[in-house]
Structure 1
Amino acid sequence: MNNTELNFCTPEPADGPALYELVKRCPPLDTNSVYCNLLQCSDFAQTSIAVKSADGHLLGFISGYVPPARLKTLFIWQVAVAPECRGQQLAKRMLHALVRRVSANKGIAYLETTITPGNQASEALFKGFFNELSAPVETSILFSKEQHFSGQHEDEVLYRAGPFIVQQCGAMQSNTTQIH
């Protein structure tokens, strides 16, 4: 994807079906129901981010939420980038934009996500991002293959980074950027 204008925005309920289609194009992500995606784009919109092309096509999405028991934490649920946009740092740019927005609105100081062992792309993305935040990171198994998944799914390793302080001034240039 070259010289395409991208809009980093808060998702809207109408983005739910497009999110479902995007996730289907992004193995190994788990597809959820369209209804779940509608909830991600409505009830969890303030803690999620969508990236759309100039013509409104959904090219990237990060879903997240603030766990009720950890109000200073943003939990990243899924990161999806359209295949034609990969290799251009879009996921990291979405993470930066989302963390800046949620930190400004909710005062988060911690970021959590789970990654299955061997998912090298997610490990590289989050380790690089945590390094840029200068945030200490702890890992532990959140959901185990045997105990929680009856051996049918790999462990989900929790990565918890923080505390960190997000620089708000000058860090976000614009909601619209060019991708080359």
Structure 2
Amino acid sequence: MAIREILEVPDPRLKIVSKPVETFDDGLKALVDDMFETMYAAHGIGLAAIQVGEPIRLLVIDLQEPDEDASPEDCGDHGCGHDHRPVKNDPRVFVNPEILAPAEELSTYQEGCLSVPDIYADVDRPVRCRVRWQDLEGQVHEEDMEGMMAVCIQHEMDHLNGILFIDHLSRLKRSMALKKLEKLRKAA
């Protein structure tokens, strides 16, 4: 496993439409392992293969929900006084995902992206969607998704089509976000 470089705007590879995965082999599994390691190291909840320079229809998601059944002490007592609860990891892999039935009803979530670091904006997306995908063995699955999972899978699937979350913003808001990113890079 290895942490890979995450492509950032304005890298033109982020605009590539990814190709379907046709080979389900150890190379694909190794890429998935690298993607999870990269995503966790960057404190993300989703990552598309194109974000690490691989233009294939593959994404990984782990919403890392807080474990409500755990007590704050389960994370170790380090005296900071905060209610630290360990997270439940639920790593999920989606190969060749497709959205079959997006809801007409929209919801607004503030989104961010590892390829557009430190920039956040409200994006409207269908509140629910039915998704079909393959697993690492090529088996087909379908599931109705809602809430944060629906938002995350739609965001990551946009990457597979060369779309960034800032592309959903008005021209003015997108321009302001990119200028802010440029300022942050210069300050660093």
TM-score, normalised by the number of residues in structure 1: 0.27
Greater C-alpha Rg: 2
